[in-house]
Structure 1
Amino acid sequence: MRTETLHIPTEDGRADAFAAFPDDGERHPGVLMYPDGFGIRPVLRDMACELARHGYYVLVPNIFYRNGPTPVIELPEHIGEEDRPAVFAQLMPLIEAHTAERTLRDADAYLGFLASRPEAGAGPVAVTGYCIGGLLATRTAVAHPGRVAAVAAFHGPVGADGTDSLAKLTAEVHFGHAEGDLTPEALDGINQALDTAGVGYTSEIYPGTAHGFTMSDTDAFDARALQHHWDRLLPLLGGALSRS
């Protein structure tokens, strides 16, 4: 397994990024992994490495690079409930400034950079994301129908751009929602949009979960839900990218 810290040229500067990939001299399908709002840190690096072990080139960008390199803000080793008010006081201005227009400009740069890597395959890619990264992943998939073969989002506000946007998806989809993040009625609306898109998908509420359930450095972490996330993500990528 190899890991690298990289710098991606964008229209607005240079985004630092973390990459993980098998060290076997072969080319592997690319996966663009958007982090949650807390950004690149040990838990995200570990998740990228775990995914790379299954035969993927995984690229994790610093989505807030305009505000500085990783770490954009200092975080405790464990982000407990007592830490969240101070952390979110710093994070929310960054999240609010990260508009859809910025997302799409950056996505063009990230996907172009991924295509340039000699260790990454030349075919379509997958895009994954966590929390706000789930929304960024979904926006990226909608904007790049010929490039993105699969999209997965976990505890992300994937419906924030409206169900009409979701109906434009062409990639295969898995949405893993936290129980506390949306109502069954909201889930029905998302799933109806995916029906309209005509794509293969699973979109479900993970029972008993709180927002952030995949992240082991937060109080929301749920080990069973994290395993379910892998059980959904790996077949999705294996199927969509093997056919590309």
Structure 2
Amino acid sequence: MTAVQGTTVDIPTGDGTADAYLAHPADGTPRPGVLLYQDAYGLRPHLRAMADRLTGAGYTVLVPNVFYRKGRAPVVDLPEFIDPSADPTIWQRLSPLLRTLTPERTARDADAYLGWLADSPLVADGPVALTGYCMGARLALRTAATHPGRVAAAAGFHGGRLATDDPDSPHLGAGHITAELYFGHADRDASLPEEQMRRLEDALTAAGVRHTCEVYPDAPHGYTQADTNAYQREGDERHWAALLDLLKRTF
């Protein structure tokens, strides 16, 4: 297991400065880059621990605070264990932040994140991989479509609203994707009903995108997030196996 060093970095963007967590091998050896997109709860200790685990497997991992326009992380103060059913105000505070992430801003931010990784001496030359959780799966899908030359693989877990009826739905960018994709859907997820699962699968297949879409049984939306009431150990362990397998095939 690779020894891990973690630090906070600042990334200049078209709209300001995004703070981010960087996990990298302690010996400074360049490793393949992974851009980890957060869920709606934001950059916090659990996501830093996820980045550290990926780095221990041999990668340099960047976790940007995608809500940086509203402040440095934590943008919203949350308890150590997040349970929206115990505090309904959590989503009242988070919803305005989600609305700041338009497709245009997502693409512009991805330029900055991927450019920073390309310039870092801690990242090996070549394209990078993405992994995203909840809304982060949506960001990963959009980034794979807008930056095909920079993204070799992308994974999304318990993603929501991936294939809606909206004219700017993420799945509509499938024709631009050159990366291999993996999605681990939650089967108890109101934000991604079966209709959207089929629409995503059909779009990726029609575009000739290398992909795997799997539905995790009895898994709730958020099953990988151990600091929330949605956590499911079985789904989380399956997610780690699938993600590390994808990265191993890619690099």
CA distance in 2, matches of 1:168, 1:85: 39
Q: Tell me, which stretches of 5 or more residues in structure 2 are unaligned? A: none
- State the superposition RMSD in angstroms: 1.3
**Cα distance change on mapping 1:99 and 1:62 into 2, 3 Å:** same
Q: After superposition, what is the alpha-carbon deviation per residue over 1:73-96, rounded to whole angstroms, capped at 9, x for unaligned? A: 100011113345211101101101
Secondary structure in structure 2 of the residue aligned to 1:209: strand
**TM-score of the two chains, using structure 1 as the length reference:** 0.95
Is the CA contact (8 Å cut-off) linking 1:8 and 1:110 kept in structure 2?
yes
Shift in Å, 1:162: 5.2
Secondary structure in structure 2 of the residue aligned to 1:208: strand
Q: Within the alignment, does 1:123 sit opposite 2:129 as a pair?
A: no
Secondary structure in structure 2 of the residue aligned to 1:207: strand
* Match of residue 156 from structure 2: 153
CA distance in 1, matches of 2:86, 2:65: 21
* Match of residue 226 from structure 1: 236
What count of residue pairs does the alignment treat as equivalent? 241
Amino acid in structure 2 at the alignment position of 1:236:
L
Is the CA contact (8 Å cut-off) linking 1:27 and 1:119 kept in structure 2?
yes
Q: Within the alignment, does 1:94 sit opposite 2:102 as a pair?
A: no
**Identity percentage over the alignment?**
49
Q: Comparing 64-73 with 193-202, which one deviates more in the overlay?
A: 193-202
* Match of residue 139 from structure 1: 142
* Match of residue 65 from structure 1: 68
Amino acid in structure 2 at the alignment position of 1:159:
A
CA distance in 1, matches of 2:102, 2:240: 29
Q: Within the alignment, does 1:208 sit opposite 2:218 as a pair?
A: yes
CA distance in 2, matches of 1:107, 1:162: 14
Is the CA contact (8 Å cut-off) linking 1:179 and 1:207 kept in structure 2?
yes
* Match of residue 12 from structure 1: 15
Q: Tell me, which stretches of 5 or more residues in structure 1 are unaligned? A: none
Amino acid in structure 1 at the alignment position of 2:106:
T
CA distance in 1, matches of 2:97, 2:58: 33
Q: Comparing 213-222 with 175-184, which one deviates more in the overlay?
A: 175-184
CA distance in 2, matches of 1:165, 1:89: 30
Residue 41 of structure 2 is aligned with which of 12, 16, 38?
38
Q: Within the alignment, does 1:24 sit opposite 2:24 as a pair?
A: no
* Match of residue 188 from structure 1: 198
Amino acid in structure 2 at the alignment position of 1:65:
Y
